[in-house]
Structure 1
C-alpha cells in the first residue's frame, strides 16, 4: 500500500497559529507547518477527511478523484469535514463512494449529501470486520469519544497485497485487555497519535509521550509491532518539545514523527531511486529536503557537504546544524569540494549538496575571482561530469536554479551564474532524472 500523509498535526496543527511557545516558534522558523492528520491510501481510500485534507492533497500533488472509500474515526471537526461530500458532488456526479464510520459520524455527513448522490453510508462499531473494495478492514475500539463511548473507532487495514497498517488516531491509552485483539497482527506500519508530549494530564483521550511509549510496548507485547514495523507518530501538537528533541525521544521508542506530504510504501519495497538525479530549486524552495526524501528508504547514505565550514558565520552554522539534525543518524557526512573522488570511491548512495557551493569552492581554489581565468574550473567540471557518469551507486545532487534571476551587477556574479547554469544543464543531461522544486512542490523535468 502507498500511504500519503496529508497531514500529521493535531486539531490546531503545529505550530498553533495563535501561539508563541518555543515549540511553535521552532516549527515556524523551520517552515515545518503540520496540518490536521489524515492519509490517502493508494489514491482510492482516505483515512479521515478533515476540512484541511482536500486542499492538502492538492498541495502534495495528489488528486482525490479516484477516492471510493472514506474511513472516518470520529466526528471531531479536525477528522471530519463533511462539506467535502458536497464539493465532490459538484464534479463527481454518478461516481459511487462508501463513507464508513460510527453512526454518529455518519449522521454528521448526511445533511451534506443529496438524495440522488451515489454515497453509501456504512455504520460500524468496534469488533466489526468488512471488505472495503480491495481492502479488508477490522474496526477497533478507541479510548476517545465525541459525545458517548463507542462513537470513535480505529482501523486495522489489510491491502490487496497482504500489507497491513494500523490507523490509531485518536485514542488515549488502551486497557491491557484490548491489546489481545491484535495478537500477532505483525503490522507493516502503525500510525499512532502522539498529541500532548509531556502534558499527558491535559486529556485521557489522547496520548502524550509516556502513553505513546506504553502503547507501543503493548502492541509489541501482542506481536502487533515487530522489529520491522514502521511506527509513525501523527496528530502531533505544540505541547510536544521542538521537533529535534521529539525525534530523538521517539527514536528511543523505535518510532519517528511523520511529515506532511510524506509517502510511505507499507509492506513494499520502496521505488528505486534513479541512478543519477539532479534536484534544482531556488533559495529556501525545499530542494534539499526533497533530495533527502528521495534517499530516505536507504539504511545508509553518505551526505557530501560541499560548502565546508565558515568560521565566524553564525547564520551559516545554523543552516548546517539544521540540515544535520534532520538527517537520520545512520547517514554519514563528508565535507569536501573534491566531489569527483567521492563519486568514484562511493559504495553506498550519495547526496551531494550542493553544486553551487562546490563551484564556489573551485573558483576560490583557482583564484578565479582575481585572475578572471576559469580554465582550471572548466577542467574540474569535466572531471566532475566524468565521475558523475561513472558512479556505481544511486546519487542525488542538489543545485541552485539561477536562470530566472536578475542579471548580476558584477562581472564575478555573472561569471558564477553562467558557469553554474551550464553545469546544471550538463549534469541534467547526464542524469536519468531531473526535478525542479518550487515552493516545496517537486516538478519532474526529466524521467528515464
Structure 2
C-alpha cells in the first residue's frame, strides 16, 4: 500500500500566511510549507478533499485521474471543497467516482455534480464497514464535529495487500470505550492529527501534543499501534513549536511529523535514506543533525577519519560536537560501509567529500590518477547505503558549481565527487539541497 501525503497541515496551513510567530517564521526560513491535510492511497482512494488537494497534486506531480473513491471525514472546508467535482467533470471520459462521508458531506457535494456525471454518493456513520474494489474500510468515530456529534468520522483502510492504515484527522482524545474498535488492529501506518502543540486548551475537538501522546499510548495498549507501526503526525498548525523541536517532541512518542509530498510504503521498514548536499557553509550539517534530532542515540560518522595537527579542522570538529546531543556516539572512520552494515541505531555520515578525499589519499590516486580502487570503495559504500536497515542521513558538498579547478587533482576530485553524489542521490528516499541556509527538497 502506497500512501502519498498530499498535505500535512492544519486548516490554515503551516506557516499561516498572515502570521509572524516564531514557528511560522522558522517554517518560512526553512521552506517547509504544509498545506491542508489529505492523502492518496494507491492512486485509487483519496482521503479528504480540501481546497488544497488539487494544487498539491499538481505541485507534487501526482495525478488524481485514477481515483475511484473519495473518503471524506467531515464537511469543514479544509477537508471538503466540493467545487473540485465540477472541475473534474470538465475532463472528457472521466470514469465513475464514489463520494463517501457523513450526511452533511453528501449534502454539500450534490449541487456540484451534473445529472450525467458518473458520480455516486454513499452516506456513512461510525460503525459501518464497506468493501471498495479490493479495499476494506471501517468507519470509526471522531471526537470532532461540524454542527452536531457524529457528523465527523475517521477511516480504517485495509488494502488488497493486507496492509492497514488509520486516517485519524480530525479528532480530540477518544473516551476509553472507543478503543475497542481498534483493538489488535496492528496498523502499518497511523496518520494522527496534532494541531495545537502545547495549546491543547484551544479545542477539545483537536489534539495538541498532550492529547496526541495520550492517544498514541492508548492505541499501543489496545494493540492498534505496535512495533512496526509508522506513526505520522498530520494536521499540523503553527501553535506547534518550530519543526526541529517538534521532531524531538514527537520522537518521544515514537512518532514523526508528516511532510507534504512524501510517500509512505505501508508495511515497509520506516528506515529512510536521506542525502543532504549543498555549498560551503550552506547549513548542510546543521540540517542533517536536525533531521535526526528526535533520536536519543545516533552514530555520527566523521567520514574523513581523524586529522591530527590541523587547528582549523579541530575548531570545526569542536563546533559540531557542541551542537550534538551528548548521547550521540562519534566514530572517526573512513570505512563507512562497515558502519552502515552493522548499525543498529540511526547513522549520520558527515561528509562524503572528506570520505572521498581520504579514500583517494589512501590509494595514492592523486599522483597516479588510477581510480579503480577508489571506485571499488565507492561501489561498496553504495551497496551498504542501499541495504542499510536503519535511518541514515549523509552529507556531501557541491563542488562543481563554481570555477573549474586549476589543478589536475582539483578537477579529479570535482568529477569523482559529482559522480558519487549523483549515485547516492539515485539510491536515496529524499534528496535535500541546501541553499543559503534553506533546505530545498529536490527528490
Distance 1:119 1:330, change over 3 A: farther
Report the alpha carbon displacement of residue 280 of structure 1 after superposing the two structures with TM: 7.2
Distance 1:59 1:283, change over 3 A: farther
Report the alpha carbon displacement of residue 360 of structure 1 after superposing the two structures with TM: 7.1
Q: Which moves more between the two structures, 176-185 or 35-44?
A: 176-185
CA contact (8 A) 2:8 2:236 kept: yes
Distance 1:181 1:397, change over 3 A: closer
Query: 1:50 corresponds to which residue?
Result: 50
Report the alpha carbon displacement of residue 238 of structure 1 after superposing the two structures with TM: 1.1
Query: Aligned to 2:376, which of 386, 390, 413?
Result: 386
Report the alpha carbon displacement of residue 270 of structure 1 after superposing the two structures with TM: 7.0
Report the alpha carbon displacement of residue 153 of structure 1 after superposing the two structures with TM: 0.8
Partners of 1:433 and 1:348 in 2: how far apart? 19
Report the alpha carbon displacement of residue 378 of structure 1 after superposing the two structures with TM: 4.4
Query: 2:437 corresponds to which residue?
Result: none
For the pair 1:90 / 2:57, whether they are aligned, the reply is no
CA contact (8 A) 1:126 1:153 kept: yes
Query: 2:418 corresponds to which residue?
Result: 424
Report the alpha carbon displacement of residue 260 of structure 1 after superposing the two structures with TM: 2.0
Distance 1:270 1:145, change over 3 A: closer
Over aligned residue pairs, what C-alpha RMSD do you find? 4.4
Q: Which moves more between the two structures, 61-70 or 394-403?
A: 394-403
Distance 1:62 1:416, change over 3 A: farther
Distance 1:128 1:387, change over 3 A: same
Per-residue CA deviations over 1:74-120 (Å, capped at 9, x if unaligned) read 11111112222222222252411111111211222222222211111
Report the alpha carbon displacement of residue 55 of structure 1 after superposing the two structures with TM: 2.3
For the pair 1:134 / 2:134, whether they are aligned, the reply is yes
Partners of 2:212 and 2:339 in 1: how far apart? 43
Report the alpha carbon displacement of residue 229 of structure 1 after superposing the two structures with TM: 2.3
Equivalences for residues 25-424 of structure 1 within 5 A? 25-91=25-91, 93-268=93-268, 304-306=301-303, 334=331, 339=334, 341-343=335-337, 347-348=341-342, 352-356=349-353, 358=355, 375-376=366-367, 378=369, 382-391=372-381, 393-395=384-386, 399-400=396-397, 405=401, 407=403, 411=406, 416=410, 419-424=413-418
Report the alpha carbon displacement of residue 169 of structure 1 after superposing the two structures with TM: 0.3
CA contact (8 A) 1:5 1:263 kept: yes
Unaligned runs of 5+ in 2: 306-311, 387-392, 434-439
Partners of 1:407 and 1:436 in 2: how far apart? 24
Distance 1:265 1:291, change over 3 A: farther
Distance 1:80 1:6, change over 3 A: same
Partners of 2:118 and 2:153 in 1: how far apart? 25
Distance 1:79 1:310, change over 3 A: farther
Partners of 2:431 and 2:182 in 1: how far apart? 44
CA contact (8 A) 2:234 2:257 kept: yes
Partners of 1:310 and 1:240 in 2: how far apart? 37
Unaligned runs of 5+ in 1: 367-373, 443-448
Per-residue CA deviations over 1:185-206 (Å, capped at 9, x if unaligned) read 2222221111111111111110
Report the alpha carbon displacement of residue 136 of structure 1 after superposing the two structures with TM: 0.7
Aligned residues: 415
Partners of 1:62 and 1:426 in 2: how far apart? 29
Partners of 1:335 and 1:92 in 2: how far apart? 61
Per-residue CA deviations over 1:300-323 (Å, capped at 9, x if unaligned) read 986545589867779x968995xx
CA contact (8 A) 2:228 2:267 kept: no
Q: Which moves more between the two structures, 75-84 or 193-202?
A: 75-84
Partners of 1:382 and 1:393 in 2: how far apart? 19
CA contact (8 A) 2:144 2:172 kept: yes
CA contact (8 A) 2:173 2:211 kept: yes
Distance 1:210 1:22, change over 3 A: same
